[in-house]
Amino acid sequence: MAEAAIELIGIDKSFGLVRANRNIHLEVPRGTIHGIIGENGAGKSTLMSILYGFYQADSGEIRINGQPVKIDTPNDAIAAGIGMVHQHFMLVQNFTVLENVMLGAEGAPLLYGSISDARAELKRLEKDYGLEVDPDAVIEELAVGFQQRVEILKALYRGADILILDEPTGVLTPSEADHLFRILEQLKDEGKTVILITHKLREIMAITDNVSVMRQGEMVATRKTSETSVEELAELMVGRRVLLRVEKDEADPGDVKLSVRNLTVKDSRGVTMVDDVSFDVRAGEIVGIAGVAGNGQSELLEAIAGIRAAVSGDVIMDGKPIDVTGAADPSDLRERGLAHVPEDRHYTGLVLPFEENENSILGYHYHARYLNGPFLNLDAIRDDAKDKIEKFDIRPADCRLRTANFSGGNQQKIVLAREMEQDPGVLIVGQPTRGVDVGAIEFIHKRLIEMRDKGKAVLLVSVELDEIRSLSDRILVMFDGRIVGERDGEATEGELGLLMAGVEQREAAE
C-alpha cells in the first residue's frame, strides 16, 4: 500500500449534546481516490470540515504525509496542501474566473505583476488537467459544471496535493459528471490524492480505489472498491438491507388533475426556455420529465407553481385555470391543493437562519391549526414539526435547531415533509433526492409511490435517469425547451439519452 497522504487518528467532535464524530480513524493512501459515504447526518461533512480547518476536533490527531499537523483554519489546511470543493460553491458571482482564482492569494498588495502571473499559471493548470474555462468570464454567466472547474482550479492554484470534493455531482448533468471523473483520474495520475464525499454508490464503484463508510458519527468499515458491491455498501451505510429498486403496482390513472397547454416561458434574459409545451397529469400517476439540466424543466415548474410569469399558454388544475401571467399567488395555489418541492432547497425552499419548526410550516403558516387568534401558536407548530421529524426521520431530531445546521439531505427532507404532509391533490417536485443518501432515497421514493396510489397527481423533474425510469408511469423528454418525446416507464436509458440529446429531433429535420 502507498504511504498515507492523510491519517486521522481518534477524531472526536461534539456540538452540544450531538456527537458528530466518534473516535474516527481514517487512512488515505497517497495518489488514490478515496470515497467516504454515509447517511445524511452521519458526520462526513463534519469530518472533512475538521480536516479543512472549518471546525477543530475536540480530541484526536491529524497527520499529513506522516507528519502531525495542527489545522485551526482553512489557511492552515491550504498551507498543508489541502484544497476543498464544497457542495455549494464558494465563488463571488460578479467576479471573473481569474479574479475568483486569485482571491485570497493575490501575491502582492497592489497586484503588480500578479495578474499576468496568475493568468499564465491558470492557463498552465487548465492545459495540464483539462479544466478549460475562459479566465475573463463572469461566474454568474457560467454553467454549473464550469463553476465547479473554477473551484478545482482555485485549489490547484494554491498548491493543493490533497483535494476534498463534497457531493461534486449533485448539480452536474451526466455528461458533466463523466468529464469531472476524467479530471479526477488525471489528478490521481499526477500523484494528487482525492477524497470524494458522495451519496451515489455507482459513482463510488466507478471512480474510487477505496471507500470508507460512516454511520451515526462512527467509521464502520473501509473496503477496497474492487472487493465490495453496491449492495454491501448500502447495507453498511444504513445498518440494514436496502431496496435499491422501486417496487410499485401498475398505475390506475383517473381524471386529468393538471393540464398544461401551449405554455411558453422566457428567462430573465428574454431567452425562450419553455417553447409551446403541452401535456396532462392524471390522478393516480407519476409523470416524469427527463432532460439535461438547462433545457427548460426548471422554468416549467416555476411557471406552474406561480413563481415565474409565462409569455403565453394555459395551466388548468381541476378544471379551473391558473393565471400564468405572473398574477397568480402561490399561496392561493397551495389553498387549491398544489404543493411544490423546488429544485433548489436553499434558494426557494428554505430560510436557512430559521429554526426547523419555522421552515416546516413556511407557506402554510396562516392555516388555522398553526394560529392562536392573530398570533402564531408556537406549541402547535413545534408539535407538528416533531411529528414530521419522526415520520421523515430528520436528523438531528431537534425542531429548535437552525435549518442551516442540518445536512443537505436532511434539509431536503424538511421541504418534502412540509409539502407532502399537506395532502395536496397535485404535487410538482424538482430533484427530490438531490444530495440525499441511499436510505433516504428509498424512503422518498416509497412516499411518492404512496401519493400516486392515493390518487394524487405527481409531476416529477429529475436529472437522475434511474429515478425517472423507476418512478414514472409516463416519461416526457425535454430538449431545447420543447417536449420531444413521450415514453412509458420501460424505456431504456439509451433511448431516453438519445431524446435528451435531441438526436431524433435532428434526424427528423434532415
Question: Hey, what domains does the chain have and what are their CATH numbers?
Answer: 4-238 (3.40.50.300), 244-337+424-510 (3.40.50.300), 351-418 (no CATH)
Residue 201: which pLDDT band, with cuts at 50, 70 and 90? confident
Is residue 194's pLDDT more than 50?
yes
Per-residue pLDDT at 244: 60
Per-residue pLDDT at 171: 64
What average pLDDT does the segment 148-173 reach? 86
Residue 489 has a CB neighbour count (10 Å cut-off) of 18
Q: What is the pLDDT of residues 443-461, one digit of tens each?
A: 899 999 999 999 999 999 9
Cell of 456: 394524487
Nearest-angstrom CA–CA distance, 484 and 334: 30
- How far is CA 194 from each of CA 28, 155, 177, rounded to the nearest angstrom? 9, 12, 15
Is residue 510's pLDDT more than 50?
no
Is residue 190's pLDDT more than 50?
yes
What average pLDDT does the segment 264-281 reach? 93
N-terminal to C-terminal alpha carbon distance within the chain:
56
Per-residue pLDDT at 111: 52
Cell of 87: 457542495
Highest mean pLDDT among 131-135, 185-189, 266-270: 185-189
Which pTM was predicted?
Answer: 0.70
Residue 353 has a CB neighbour count (10 Å cut-off) of 10
Instruction: Tell me the pLDDT of the chain averaged across its residues.
Output: 89
Question: Mean pLDDT lowest for which of 317-321, 386-390, 490-494?
Answer: 490-494
Cell of 199: 451519496
Is residue 166's pLDDT more than 90?
no
Is residue 356's pLDDT more than 70?
yes
Cell of 218: 462512527
For the chain, what percent of residues have pLDDT higher than 90? Answer: 61
Which own/partner contact pairs does 47-50 have at CB distance under 8 Å and 24+ positions apart?
A: 47/8, 47/11, 47/13, 47/21, 47/214, 48/84, 48/164, 48/166, 48/195, 48/197, 50/8, 50/11, 50/13, 50/21
What average pLDDT does the segment 338-362 reach? 94
Is residue 153's pLDDT more than 50?
yes
Is residue 110's pLDDT more than 80?
no
Is residue 88's pLDDT more than 90?
no
Is residue 135's pLDDT more than 70?
yes
Pick the closest to residue 311 from 348, 260, 267 (CA basis).
267
For the chain, what percent of residues have pLDDT higher than 70? Answer: 94
Collapsed DSSP state (helix, strand, coil) of residue 260? strand
Residue 174: which pLDDT band, with cuts at 50, 70 and 90? low
